[in-house]
Chain A
Amino acid sequence: MAQLTTSGWAGNVAATSRKLGYGVLMDWTLATASGVQFFTIGTSLIGGSDIIKSGGGVPAFFDKYQFTDYSNYALSWNVDRRLGQYPYGLFMAQADIALDNSSKLFLPFFDPTIGSGILPNRPVKLSVGFNGELLNQFIGFTGKPQNTIGAGRQTILHAYDAVNYLNSYTSTASGVLTVSGLYTNQSASTIVGDLLGEAGFSSSQYVLDISLQSNIGYLSPGGSQIGDIIQALCEAEQALFFADENGILRFWNRQHFTTVSGSYATQSGIQTTVSGTYTTFTFANLSELNYANTPIFNDVTVQAIPRAVQPIQKVWGLTSYQTIQPGQSLTIEADFSDANGPLPVTYVQTPVSSSGGGTGISVYTVNTASDGSGSDATSSVTLVSTSSGGGIGGAANPADNYLGTTYYVTFHNTSGAAVYVTAMTLFGTPATVTQVISQRYQDGTSIANYGTNPGNMYQTIVIENDLIQDPSTAYALAYVLVKNYKDPLRRYENVPVFANPALQIGDFIALVNADTGETNTAYVTGIRTSLGTNGQLQQYLDFELRSFVHFFTIGSSSIGGTDSIAP
């Protein structure tokens, strides 16, 4: 959709001569900008303006930093952001920056003000523009600074955007919407928002399209990197997740990418209308045109075994007696499983003695004889502890909330004779497989023309993702992938263009090829922008030819009109 600009921007981009401006801002000391306050218990107002500080070592809000302008020290920088092979999943932008260190300003512990802050994980902003209007090209955190010493002192920085932060952030399943550490019956976009909240991002720091499939019945995030979880969620919907040039995290559903105009709904309920305007490239504003063909995929199978948490029920029973020697403890291990293998159980009721009566509850029976013919020996044992394993870490937890596929019960025999646990039944809430999904879509014409999946070594493509909830979604994913890649679409790579810093991934462009007389539509899949000495601004684009699609939008499109029903 391109970054928001003033009305004069288009003219500046197209002008024969445009005056360059740029910025390199950093906060070496992680100082907080004046006026920004962190939330303090007992002082700050709930829902007020004070910012919740993230639990990690690196705060998640870029705007709260006190940036200093180091543009005069900039020797060069470049920003690289591009999609992977498919237009879905999670991608991250990277930047390289070279600073003049002749003054030793960026030497660790040299400068009295910033010397102690010459360390990794420093926020950086890069911007460039024309005639006084600058646009951000990158916001992120730096890696370890590299200093060259000698006649040409430089400080070299490599930086990653906020997605890298998420890739290394381990979820503790502490999101607001988790129940007993789980997401149950929540949409993918809702889960993404809650995970971002756990990582310290406020709702103003991200924009989420609505999910296009049923709510996800069961997802246990604990112990996993948030980036990995979001990657899986994106794959389940063919959605895209990234940080834009201004550090805003975005979750785009699979309709967003191919809609050039009309409205698309976001998680917050805001309908955003794309203007329908796009950049046109001709032989007058690009320097080369090298193209390659996209890989052909014409046979895709999507498989999933989604789970959902069931009502409380019997989940395990003891199959043979267990002996507890006098004065000793015994731990009984209950492995939960069903026909689909290990069975996660989200809650296990702590067993009580069966001598107290009761049905439909977790109980155990202790007898003086191994065959149960002796007398009740419940009073001879105490239930010492219960814990879970095979879940999010197996930490001992005396409460009745367990996550995992294994449950441990420890008894202690307080008598002077051996006793026997002759029966134990456990009740809990299992997350069982709701259905086994396998949907395949093939395009016969493409297969006849090119063979099966020449882009995948002539092998059927199988996508497995248990976060796919229903067969219709699985079919849609297979269908869309084949539809978009059954023919060898032209993909243009590393096209040097007259730079337009407002361009973004996913922007639609028109390409007028004077050699062939064709006018094609395409979307931007990669942008590399660099700034070097003597104002050398260069921009290289990757783009893939596609047709514009106007998806049917309730309240906007006409029944029987030309807008397509989204897959």
Chain B
Amino acid sequence: MVTINSNNSTPQPTTLKEEYVQIQTDQIAINGAMQRTYYGEKQQATLQWDWLSPTDYQTLLGFFRGGGTVTYSNTSSDVSSGVFSFTGLPIFTEAEYIQGGTLYRKISAVIRQQ
């Protein structure tokens, strides 16, 4: 189960991608040899909600607006421990409303570990 800011009423995402972003730079030599300078990794979750009721839509906006950090947790993750959780900054986008169309809205968000 995915929760944001420990809120058990967090709408569950339609698609979810959890990953460990590698902080690294690779340099290629003339002969194609590669050397990597690695600093560490950051957790990142990419979520998309396709059908959000106005209430759920407003709930998510409440998490993401304001520029502050959010706490992400997924207790059903595919990672070895089964739990993928971290605190990070969200980057979100809202889908447009088309006149006469459904009131169910779409939100996409990337939450990256700070």
Question: Is B36's CB under 8 angstroms from A283's CB?
Answer: no
Binary interface encoding of chain B residues 32-50 relative to chain A, with 1 for a CB under 8 A from any of its CBs, else 0: 0111111110000000000
Shortest C-beta distance, A495 to chain B (Å), equals: 10
Can you name the residue of chain A whose Cβ is closest to the Cβ of B33?
A: A284
- A528-543 CB contacts (< 8 Å) to partner B: 534-538
A-B contact count (CB 8 A): 62
Shortest C-beta distance, B42 to chain A (Å), equals: 10
The listed residue (A289, A498, A534, A535) touching B35 by CB distance below 8 A is A498
Q: How many residues of A contact B (CB 8 A)?
A: 24
Binary interface encoding of chain A residues 274-299 relative to chain B, with 1 for a CB under 8 A from any of its CBs, else 0: 00000000111111110000000000
Known interface pairs A534-B23, A535-B23; A287-B28 also in contact (CB < 8 Å): yes
B5 cross-chain contacts in A, Cβ below 8 A: none
Q: CB of B98 within 8 A of chain A? A: no
Q: CB of B95 within 8 A of chain A? A: no
Q: Which of A11-19, A236-244, A468-476 contacts B (4 or more CB under 8 A)?
A: A11-19
Question: Is B37's CB under 8 angstroms from A499's CB?
Answer: yes
Question: Is A18's CB under 8 angstroms from B29's CB?
Answer: no
Q: Give Cα distance in the complex from A48 to B33, angstroms.
A: 54
Q: CB of B27 within 8 A of chain A? A: yes
A537 cross-chain contacts in B, Cβ below 8 A: 25, 37
Can you name the residue of chain B whose Cβ is closest to the Cβ of A537?
A: B37
The listed residue (B24, B30, B40) touching A286 by CB distance below 8 A is B30
Q: CB of B31 within 8 A of chain A? A: yes
Can you name the residue of chain A whose Cβ is closest to the Cβ of B26?
A: A17
Question: Is A16's CB under 8 angstroms from B37's CB?
Answer: no
Question: Is A535's CB under 8 angstroms from B39's CB?
Answer: yes
Q: Give Cα distance in the complex from A19 to B28, angstroms.
A: 17
Question: Is B31's CB under 8 angstroms from A283's CB?
Answer: yes
Q: CB of A20 within 8 A of chain B? A: yes
B37 cross-chain contacts in A, Cβ below 8 A: 17-18, 20, 130, 499, 535-537
Question: Is A16's CB under 8 angstroms from B30's CB?
Answer: no
Q: Give Cα distance in the complex from A535 to B36, angstroms.
A: 10
Question: Is B25's CB under 8 angstroms from A285's CB?
Answer: no
B25 cross-chain contacts in A, Cβ below 8 A: 534-537
Shortest C-beta distance, A349 to chain B (Å), equals: 70
Shortest C-beta distance, A213 to chain B (Å), equals: 44
The listed residue (A16, A534, A535, A536) touching B34 by CB distance below 8 A is A16
B36 cross-chain contacts in A, Cβ below 8 A: 16-18
Q: Give Cα distance in the complex from A283 to B35, angstroms.
A: 13
15 A-B residue pairings within 8 Å (CB atoms): A16-B34, A18-B38, A20-B39, A283-B29, A283-B31, A284-B29, A284-B30, A285-B29, A287-B28, A289-B30, A496-B27, A498-B35, A535-B38, A535-B40, A537-B37
Residues of A within 8 A of B (CB): 15-20, 130, 282-289, 496, 498-499, 514, 534-538
Known pairs A20-B37, A287-B28, A287-B29 / 8 extra A-B pairs, C-beta < 8 Å: A17-B36, A283-B29, A283-B30, A283-B31, A284-B29, A284-B33, A534-B23, A535-B37
Residues of B within 8 A of A (CB): 23-25, 27-31, 33-40
Closest 9 CB pairs of A and B: A535-B39, A283-B30, A17-B36, A536-B25, A283-B31, A284-B33, A20-B39, A498-B35, A537-B37
